[in-house]
Amino acid sequence: MTLQVGVLGYRFMGQAHANALARLPMFFEDAPDVERDVLIGRDEAALDSAADQLGFDRTSTDWEAEIDEVDVFYNLGPNHVHAEPSIAALESGTPVFCEKPLAPTLDVAAEMAQVARDADVPAGSAFNYRFVPAIRYAKGLIEDGKLGEIHHVRGRYLQDWLVDPDAPWSWRNDAELAGSGALGDLGSHTIDLARFLVGEQAGEIERISGHLQTFVDERPVEGGDETRSVTVDDAYSAQVEFESGAMGTFEASRFANGHKNDHTIEIQGSKGSLKFSLERLNELEVLREDSRGYETILVTDETDPYIEHWWPPGHVIGWEHTFVHENYEFLSAVADGGEFEPSFEDGLAAQQVLDAIERSDATGEWVTVE
């Protein structure tokens, strides 16, 4: 069986996933057969050009007409268009893969998760960093008890693409369209990785103290003389407490001068610790019990997660490969009638933490995650 895939969105994430779909049959022999059937968007001329570039058979400007025509629906549009097409596709029985954060608000995310529960088909949330081989390696160490009891979880995601106050306004700067700024765009990744790595050992995040900050209140509109208000955060920080009593500190910024895409995770336990940085994604630093310092492990051996599909040991992989792994797992779940994680439930869990951080910032107090 060949899975006909429809994709809503053809820019950044559309390119990343189209590239992944093209690579699947080259490197994953047991991957389902996939056809890039239809690319969906609003601008017909831009769609035609993108379809040629990304290898889609046809285009459409009407997602409602396509959700019953495809076997899998990818919703890679801006946050405010995640809900309606995804819900409609799931209600028609079509598996859905949706970009993160799941929705601009918690209420909408909860609605999407409920529809996914009732749909009985895979509904995936796009947290691609779960599929970094070094992250999978780290999870194995934690599950095997190599770190012992978890005490600290530290996560930060730093970028600098908005440092210039004249950088143009985009939908990512609008609360109605995006929901939040660095918090949802970057922080959702950190929150999901924390849950993925230590959730079984430390439990869920129980309570939070959060802070949001906007540094530039207006930005110029590209191609004109007007400006538009920035209604989301440029940076956030949070202190969190897990159910086990483990402590966490999270932060993200799009104003961190000198950082391009620096997503780091540190976990300290009673027996050992580990460190990971996305800018060195083939490496994992591990402190083992009774050792004198951290050991840097190059996660490129054939026995490491996913690496048997790629190059000889020592030949590193990159950011784009996380999408190949993610698509392999999701489409395999679709083809086999299995389950996929991260699911819409995971997307909702991350959204609950995002919401708690916003509530804490508004009240200036610690709040519980609801």
- How many Å apart are CA 66 and CA 60, to the nearest integer? 8
Tokens 């396509």 belong to which residue? 66
| Per-residue pLDDT, 82 | 98
Helices (H), the chain: 12-27, 44-54, 63-66, 83-91, 106-119, 133-143, 175-178, 182, 188-202, 319-336, 344-363
- How many Å apart are CA 52 and CA 156, to the nearest integer? 37
Spans of the chain below 50 pLDDT? none
Q: What does the pLDDT look like over 305-328, one tens digit per residue?
A: 999 999 999 999 999 999 999 999
State how far the alpha carbon of 257 is from the alpha carbons of 188, 195, 254, in Å. 21, 28, 8
Question: Which domains, from first to last, does the chain contain?
Answer: 2-126 (3.40.50.720), 129-318+327-363 (3.30.360.10)
Question: Does the pTM of the predicted model rise above 0.85?
Answer: yes
- How many Å apart are CA 93 and CA 234, to the nearest integer? 38
Kindly give the pairing relationship between strand 247-253 and strand 150-158: parallel
| Per-residue pLDDT, 1 | 84
| Per-residue pLDDT, 224 | 83
Q: What does the pLDDT look like over 108-165, one tens digit per residue?
A: 999 999 999 999 999 999 999 999 999 999 999 999 999 999 999 999 999 999 999 9
Phi-psi region of 204 (alpha: psi -120 to 50; beta: other; left: phi over 0): beta
